[in-house]
């Protein structure tokens, strides 16, 4: 089958959705299909090889299509829409001239043959509601969580049109990480205290404010956050002196960086639906693959994958609960090892290859 994955993403780039797109293209190709990733030709894009950056094999091709990219790198609303819709118009011409069997995309306004189009949704938004008629007429709609699928049905999309497929992980990336001592030395983290680690973007809905407050309640633990952008770690270090901030690190270093942790933190907020009901965080699966104990917010979105057998839950948006749970984990090493081991076993069902095969089996 000839599959085109259409995305407006800048590739390569550091954001998790770019890694997810590249991993899915690799997985679709591994399933035996002829895969092309069609993306915009963007200015100020890293010259690094996109396959190397994302840690995927070059078993699919990348086609870059022109777009109106005024002031590359700008996130201004008007320039964003100009760039996006100019790309989608060019992509429409590309699709008309290309023989393909399936168009896979996260772009709600992609202009392809809807009978051959599979849309992937990551949140319930006004844009999803506006695209309802296209979603209904499409081949299928993939939702990354059951909570998202339930709300999409409420908005008028038939349940039989939906495929629920949580995100995944490349298990091979985590088979031979470096030692904790080497990882801490490389990142400049002293070994005088146990480490509670968060890796990811610092958006409010990710719950980082809860973690910052929890850090002040457990000074005997070194709380480390990896993911600050544009020099923000210096400002944050002044504002939150109980937290050690490390700038964003490339995805290919994730497995090694996780090894500095004695406990990994997933502090998602319960105040927004995208976090409480819809998300399927890539870090959830990489945490599970690490062999380290996890402390996570007790939220429906996370419980779709996690349970008391493989995770320690804390009350979302409650710094005291997180601090107490981290202390419990550190005080009960045998139980922590058992749950971490269970997580490693459980995560094997969430490979990118298994995800791609599940999606394709549901739409054929």
Following DSSP, what letter does each residue of 235-247 receive, concatenated? HHHHH-TTEEEEE
**Cβ distance 351 to 24 under 8 Å?**
no
Tell me which of 3.40.50.2000, 2.40.160.60, 3.30.70.990, 3.40.50.150 is the CATH number of domain 171-349.
3.40.50.2000
pLDDT at 71: 73
CATH 3.40.50.2000 intervals, the chain: 2-170+351-363, 171-349
Q: In which residue ranges of the chain is pLDDT below 50?
A: none
pTM, two decimal places: 0.95
Topology at the third CATH level for domain 2-170+351-363:
Rossmann fold (3.40.50)
* CA proximity to 264, closest of 327, 194, 198: 198
Structure tokens at 231: 């020099």
At 175, give phi and psi (nearest 5°).
-75, -35
On whether the CB atoms of residues 209 and 243 are closer than 8 A, the answer is no
What's the order of all strands across the beta sheet hosting 263-266? 243-247, 222-228, 195-199, 263-266, 294-297, 312-314
* CA dist 196 → 7, 28, 134, 262, 317 (Å): 35, 35, 44, 6, 17
Beta strand pairing call for 222-228 and 263-266: unpaired
pLDDT digits over 24-56, tens only?
999 999 999 999 999 999 877 778 899 999 999
Output b/e per residue, 50-66; b: 16+ Cβ within 10 A.
bbebbbbeeebebeebe
pLDDT confidence of residue 107: 96
> Which 3 state secondary structure label does DSSP give 149?
helix
* Residue 75 confidence (pLDDT): 67
Residue 78: other Cβ atoms inside 10 A: 9
Q: Which residue has the tokens 């819809």?
A: 278
User: Residue 199 to residues 52, 196, 215, 226, 288: CA-CA distances in angstroms?
Assistant: 20, 10, 15, 5, 13
Q: Which two tokens stand for residue 251?
A: 């995805």
Task: Note the pLDDT of residue 73.
Answer: 65
The tokens of 168 are what? Answer: 């995944």
pLDDT at position 363, please?
92
Closest of 214, 209, 199, 224 to residue 272, by C-alpha: 209
């Amino acid at each position: 089958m000839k599959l085109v994955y259409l995305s407006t993403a800048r590739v390569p780039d550091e954001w998790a959705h770019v890694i997810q797109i590249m991993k899915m293209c690799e997985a679709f190709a591994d399933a035996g299909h002829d895969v092309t990733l069609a993306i915009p030709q963007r200015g100020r894009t890293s010259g690094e090889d996109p396959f190397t950056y994302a840690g995927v094999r070059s078993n699919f091709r990348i086609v870059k299509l022109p777009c109106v990219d005024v002031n590359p790198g700008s996130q201004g609303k008007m320039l964003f829409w100009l760039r996006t819709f100019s790309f989608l118009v060019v992509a429409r011409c590309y699709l008309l001239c290309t023989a393909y069997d399936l168009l896979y995309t996260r772009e709600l306004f992609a202009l392809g043959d809807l009978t051959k189009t599979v849309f992937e949704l990551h949140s319930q938004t006004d844009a999803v509601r506006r695209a309802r008629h296209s979603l209904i007429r499409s081949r299928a709609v993939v939702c990354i969580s059951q909570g998202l699928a339930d709300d999409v049905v409420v908005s008028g999309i038939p349940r039989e049109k939906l495929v629920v497929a949580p995100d995944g992980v490349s298990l091979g990336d985590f088979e031979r990480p470096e030692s904790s001592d080497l990882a801490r030395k490389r990142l400049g983290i002293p070994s005088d205290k146990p480490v509670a680690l968060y890796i990811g973007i610092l958006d409010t809905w990710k719950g980082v404010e809860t973690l910052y407050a929890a850090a002040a309640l457990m000074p005997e633990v070194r709380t480390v956050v990896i993911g600050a952008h544009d020099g923000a770690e210096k400002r944050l270090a002044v504002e939150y002196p109980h937290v050690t901030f490390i700038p964003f690190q490339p995805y290919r270093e994730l497995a090694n960086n996780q090894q500095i942790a004695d406990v990994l933190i997933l502090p998602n907020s319960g105040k927004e639906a995208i976090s409480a009901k819809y998300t399927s965080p890539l870090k959830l699966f990489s945490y599970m693959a690490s062999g380290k104990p996890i402390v996570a917010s007790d939220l429906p979105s996370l419980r779709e994958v996690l349970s008391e057998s493989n995770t320690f839950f804390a009350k979302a948006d409650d710094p005291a609960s997180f601090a107490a749970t981290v202390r419990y984990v550190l005080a009960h090493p045998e139980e922590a090892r058992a749950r971490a081991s269970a997580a490693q076993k459980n995560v094997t069902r969430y490979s990118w290859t298994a995800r791609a095969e599940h999606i394709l089996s549901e739409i054929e």
